[in-house]
Amino acid sequence: MKVYKFGGASVKDAKGVQNVLHVLQTVGYTDTLLVISAMGKTTNALEMVIKHYFEKSNELNASLLEVKKYHYQILDELFNNEEHEVYFDVNNHFADLEYFIRSNKSPNYNFVYDQIVSYGEIISTTIVSHYFKAQGLTNNWLDVRNFVKTDTTYRDAVVDWNTTQELITKGVNRNALNITQGFLGSDPNSFTTTLGREGSDYTAAIFAYCLDAESVTIWKDVPGVLNADPRYFENATLLHQISYREAIELAFYGATVIHPKTLQPLQKKEIPLYVKSFVNPMLAGTSVSKGADLEPQTSCFIVKKNQLLLSLSSLDFSFIMEENISEIFALLHQFKIKVSLIQNTAISFSICIEDKFTNFEALKTILSQKFSVSYNENVSLYTIRHFDKAASELVEKDKTVLVKQISRETLQLVTKE
């Protein structure tokens, strides 16, 4: 069995949905499971709905209406008959969403977030499934929440692998075309959870692992894994083959083409991963598999924008020792703040962090009780794998370097533009 993942860019409009069908007809779709994301920027639009919900804004209904209009426009372009059952199903999904917004009593932002944003994937896959059926492609629509079980860490849930394995093994028809949602799961009380932004890749890996799949293919609007993000670097080149290890390193440092958690379950069973173009599906793309001889022969550049460089020093000029660092990391874990770089001296400790859940102000208040706190906002973290002098000079040009850290294979720079 093969697992294909199609992201939001691939189904952003009616032509995109039609193109996904074309891709399947080109490369084959027997014994295949499709993992599909929300359409276009729907998750961002639903995040605005959540914002207005918590702010009790008069804009709430308008922001929800924008989400509905966007999807009904795609429906109208794909189906010529408003009596088609797809309209009934989509209407029901929106009715469920509106009921939740009216009736929810929980003040927990992360819980509410997961319940609302999940409708992007649910509605997207409903539309795609019905369109395929209308075009003669019989398929099974699967609610991923009945298969991927997690804990109650909303917005960044941890998978219960034993239960998930059992449910997928028993519930997925390996001899059919299956369509399910990325990014989602459910907790022991059957409330929706999410696996973190861009978690649809991870969903594909979960199903592949549990089904002992032949391969996973991530279909994107780029030809494969590039050595740099073309938005920030000119002349980015395709990496035709890389090892699991290299892909994990690139993902860890922030390469967005593959989700960081995606590769671990695939590596365990040596399931190959392909990153290919839905624009040109017959191109080879990038393959990720086992092999130390698959390391890139060129420098790879990764940039993470909107980072925060936090520096702590002791109030009495005493050394920052292990017990201090342990306490700092306990707080970082408590506030769910991701650390991308660490550098310390005798009396100072600096970290480059990502404040995904906007908890920095609360963290800073606590740290200020024991440390002198200084920080730089909106810095950029550049990582160069397999760096050389030319690569370093390219990144440093016209920038103020705040931190520079070098290891055998990797150079990292925190810069201010």
What's the confidence (pLDDT) of residue 113?
98
Q: How many of the other CB atoms lie within 10 Å of CB of 408?
A: 4
What's the confidence (pLDDT) of residue 417?
79
Residue 92 CA to residue 98 CA, distance in Å, equals 10
Residue 365 CA to residue 358 CA, distance in Å, equals 13
Residues of the chain with CATH 3.30.2130.10: 300-416
If you write DSSP's letter for every residue of 58-107 in order, what string do you get?
Answer: TTHHHHHHHHHHHHHHHHHHH-S-TTSHHHHHHHHHHHHHHHHHHH----
**What CATH number has the domain spanning 2-220?**
3.40.1160.10
What's the confidence (pLDDT) of residue 293?
66
Output the six-digit token pair for 355. 């404040």
Q: Residue 2: enclosing H or E segment and its boundaries?
A: strand 2-6
Residue 164 CA to residue 211 CA, distance in Å, equals 11
Mode of pairing for the β-strands spanning 348-354 and 338-344: antiparallel
Output the six-digit token pair for 265. 């379950």
Residue 68 CA to residue 82 CA, distance in Å, equals 15
How many CA atoms does the CB half-sphere of 153 hold within 13 Å?
14
Residue 182 CA to residue 142 CA, distance in Å, equals 11
Alpha-carbon 61 to chain mean position: 28
Mode of pairing for the β-strands spanning 32-36 and 177-181: parallel
* Cross-strand bridge partners of residue 348: 313
Alpha-carbon 84 to chain mean position: 33
Residue 106 CA to residue 86 CA, distance in Å, equals 31
Q: At what angle do helices 60-78 and 42-54 cross, to 10 degrees?
A: 160
Residue 408 CA to residue 282 CA, distance in Å, equals 37
The C-alpha angle 290, 294, 296, rounded to 5 degrees, equals 140
If you write DSSP's letter for every residue of 362-417 in order, what string do you get?
Answer: HHHHHHTTTEEEEEEEEEEEEEEET--HHHHHHHHTT-EEEEEEE-SSEEEEEEE-
What's the confidence (pLDDT) of residue 142?
98
Q: Residue 53: enclosing H or E segment and its boundaries?
A: helix 42-54
Question: Model pTM?
Answer: 0.86
Residue 99 CA to residue 192 CA, distance in Å, equals 15
Residue type, 395: V
**pLDDT tens, position by position, 319-366:** 888 888 999 999 999 999 999 999 988 888 999 999 988 999 999 999
Output the six-digit token pair for 335. 């506030």
What's the confidence (pLDDT) of residue 80?
84
What's the confidence (pLDDT) of residue 296?
79
Low-confidence ranges of the chain (pLDDT < 70): 197, 292-294
Residues of the chain with CATH 3.40.1160.10: 2-220
Residue 412 CA to residue 380 CA, distance in Å, equals 10
Q: Phi/psi at 187 (nearest 5 deg)?
A: -90, 180
Residue 159 CA to residue 223 CA, distance in Å, equals 31
Q: Helical H runs in 138-218? A: 161-171, 200-211
| Tally: H helices and E strands in the chain | 12, 16
Alpha-carbon 408 to chain mean position: 29
Residue type, 291: G
Residues 6+ apart with CB under 8 A from 23: 219, 278, 281
Instruction: Name the architecture of domain 300-416.
Output: 2-Layer Sandwich (3.30)
